[in-house]
Structure 1
Amino acid sequence: MSNKTTHLNTSPQRDGGSGTVDHELVITSTFGTLLSVVYIIGVSGNVYTLVVMCHSIRFATSMYISIINLALADLLYLSTIPFVVSTYFLKDWYFGDVGCRILLSLDLLTMHASIFTLTVMCTERYLAVTKPLDTVRRSKSYRKALAWGVWLLSLVLTVPMMVMVAQTTENAPDGGVKRMCAPTWSPLAYKVYVTVLFGTSIMAPGLIIGYLYVKLARTYLESQRNSVISSRGGKRSPKHKVLIMIFTIVLVFWACFLPFWIWQLLPLYHTKPLSLTSQTRTCINYLVASLTYSNSCINPFLYTLLTKNYREYLKNRHRSFYRYTSKFKQRPPSLYSWGKSASSSNHFEFNSETLVMGTLK
């Protein structure tokens, strides 16, 4: 795959001449600086997200577990930036055959882990609306097993990349030897594999998420038509905000990764070679690479808004639960103490989720 960590050629080609070299140096310096800034902001934001999530994991909800998965995937993805930037400037690959296999595999692993996690989040929200009782009965171990399943499936799709890519060498125009990461499979096998990856990372999740959100939109429209309470005021409920934020994260993912995949598939399916100069190809390679990395830089800000809305949703449901059970405070102490214990830990989440889903239904 092209000039990123999944590139076939890890260094830009040169046409010769000092002017061309200076021009490429400017391009490399610009994108190298940009990626360095993305790395600093992205790592800081995702580390902050993990710290916040670890303090909130006591809720044991699927939302928090999913956010942790997304932040871990972003951190692993951003960890490849130093190797990419150094390759940009050194115009050679110094990390050996193992480095080729690991770094290129990390790209695909984290990409699939992110979109699969987002698909799980959308599915969980859909089931929470259509089958609320089944949703709240799921245990913490079930949610963790689902998270591990996402990473395992992502790893299975990544294994062929570990096998097919290896470090190769070729003679450079200046008489030296240039090292690069290149596939060892036949062109047809590589074409099929890249097409499958496009389907698993973009097309299939896109169709599933699109279908789920169409169904959710219909459900909420029907609930607003049939509910007198929902017709008061024009503000969206925190639950609606959660769904909108999840969809926003999905849209940002597609916006950042779709140009990259188009750039990968274009030379595979375009019968005639693209008439682009070496500098233009280099700029496009760097641009699509920077765009994919920027996704991991933007995500922490979206995670913060998402978890804020989700905490607001849980807080409001918790408050509603206490108003609903306030009449029991006049009962004997034993019943009151039972009500207090039932509102904690897993009972807190169960009652909160059940009440809001009952309202939506």
Structure 2
Amino acid sequence: MELGPCANLSCLLENGSAPSNTTGSASDILATSFLGCALSVMCVIGVVGNIYTLVVVNLSVRLSASMYVYVVNLALADLLYLATIPFVVCTYFVKDWYFGDVGCRVLFSLDLLTMHASIFTLTIMSTERYLAVVKPLDSLRRPGDYRRTITCSVWLLSFLLALPTMVLIDLRTSSQGGVTKRMCHPTWQMGAYKVYLTVLFITSILAPGLVICYLYIKLARTYWRSQAAVFSAKAMKRCSRQKVLYMIFSIILAYWACFIPFWLWQLLSVYRRQTGSLANATVACINFFVTCLAYSNSCINPFLYTLLSKNYKAYLRGRERNALVLIKVKHKRGSSGESVWSGSHTYTESLAVAQMQGIGNKEVFL
């Protein structure tokens, strides 16, 4: 089995676009039909869901809010990722590549581009939520357009990581039984490919995973301390900000669940060549499974984005109410110097953390 670039498209085309008989067995036709139907359904659901997310976000919220800037970028990444499905389905049915050399370079690298853009954006979202909780005053000092700069940097870095795949691939033609077939062929040496694949695994799974796990462990400790200091357990469960963090983590878990099997299969194929002894049908089934699982992430995400947006809107409304309460209590303080923090139990956990850190009576709105 010849390995191609580490992309879901290549995962299928290893077995689908290679020269073969045009007729195929009944099992091949059944497998191809099932795969085509499954991917087509995922494409329709994912495209409709992500377009709905973009429309809702653009019509109903303030686009300057941090969460919505990132949700828009996540939805765009999903749409670009889903855009490769029609090419996969077409190629697997006709067992030929009709989209030229440019199509090879663009479509194969698009998988990696969108994959990294998604996980990098999720990592940035987790980092920003963490800083908003533990360092609330710092968020007030950031320039208004810094999020756009961050997202542009995310896409640029993702493009650079996908660039070797775009460069080191070409379109080749071969003949078998008088039938000419075209296929996208990688030009990697195996040693270089192992290094590149390992780097991609680190950048798309391992490194973001370690960062996110560290941030959520720190957040859990911070919440526990703020709960003990100010809130009852019941009040903490009602915090909209906490729900926002739960939803971000749910999106991250969905990403890991959908992409880790794909990456494990790719690494196994490179580092343990025994996979070459597997029957072609077994390899094809595994390729089908990990590919469908990866594409399913873009179908699940719109539902999670919608829930995230609703929870974030609830948090913003709560923040505005807390701001009004804080202003009223501040004006009503007596000469005894009673702290404004004790005037209400409706503040968010960020205010509790601010109290713990000795911020005092400053107004802190994230």
Same fold (TM over 0.5): yes
Q: Give the aligned partner of residue 289 of structure 1.
A: 291
Q: How many Å separate the matches in 2 of 1:325 and 1:3?
A: 54
Check 1:2–1:149 CA distance in 2 against 1; reply closer, same or farther (3 A cut): closer
- Using the TM superposition, give the Cα deviation of residue 286 of structure 1 relative to its aligned residue in structure 2, in angstroms: 1.5
Contact 2:17/2:97 (8 A) holds in 1: no
* Match runs of 1:55-134 below 5 Å: 55-56=59-60, 58-134=62-138
Partner of 1:359: 352
Aligned to 1:191: 194
Specify the alignment match of 2:253 in structure 1.
251
Match of 1:230 in 2: 232
Which residue of structure 2 lines up, in the alignment, with residue 25 of structure 1?
29
User: Taking structure 1 as reference, are residues 356 and 60 closer, same or farther at Cα in structure 2, changes over 3 Å only?
Assistant: farther
Tell me how far apart the structure 2 counterparts of residues 17 and 49 of structure 1 sit (CA, whole Å).
41
User: Which stretch shows the higher mean deviation, 45-54 or 116-125?
Assistant: 45-54
Instruction: Give the corresponding residue for 2:164.
Output: 160
TM-superposition CA deviations, 1:265-312 (whole Å, max 9, x none): 112100434432212211211211111111001000000011111111
Determine the C-alpha separation between the residues in 1 that align with 2:228 and 2:352: 13
Name the CA distance, whole Å, in 2 between partners of 1:288 and 1:84. Answer: 14
| Unpaired runs of at least 5, structure 2 | 333-346, 355-366
Aligned residues of 2:22 and 2:95 also touching (Cα < 8 A) = no
Structure 2: distance between partners of 1:40 and 1:14: 30
Aligned length: 335
- Secondary structure of residue in 2 paired with 1:179: strand
The secondary structure found in structure 2 opposite 1:171 is strand
2:267 maps to what in 1? 265
Unmatched segments (≥5 aa) in structure 1: 331-353
The offset of 1:168, in angstroms, is: 1.7
| Structure 1 residues 136 and 355: CA distance shift in structure 2, 3 A | farther
Could you state the TM-score of these two structures normalised by the residue count of structure 2? 0.85
Distance 1:213 1:36, change over 3 A: same
Moved more, 247-256 or 269-278: 269-278
Question: What does residue 210 of structure 1 align with?
Answer: 213
Distance change (3 Å), C-alpha of 1:221 and 1:296: same
- The secondary structure found in structure 2 opposite 1:312 is helix
Aligned twin of 1:9: 14
Residue 324 of structure 1: CA displacement?
3.2
Aligned-residue CA RMSD in angstroms? Answer: 2.4
**1:20-60: CA deviation from partner (whole Å, max 9, x where unpaired):** 61101100100100110001110000001111121245251
Determine which of 315, 321, 324 is the counterpart of 1:319: 321
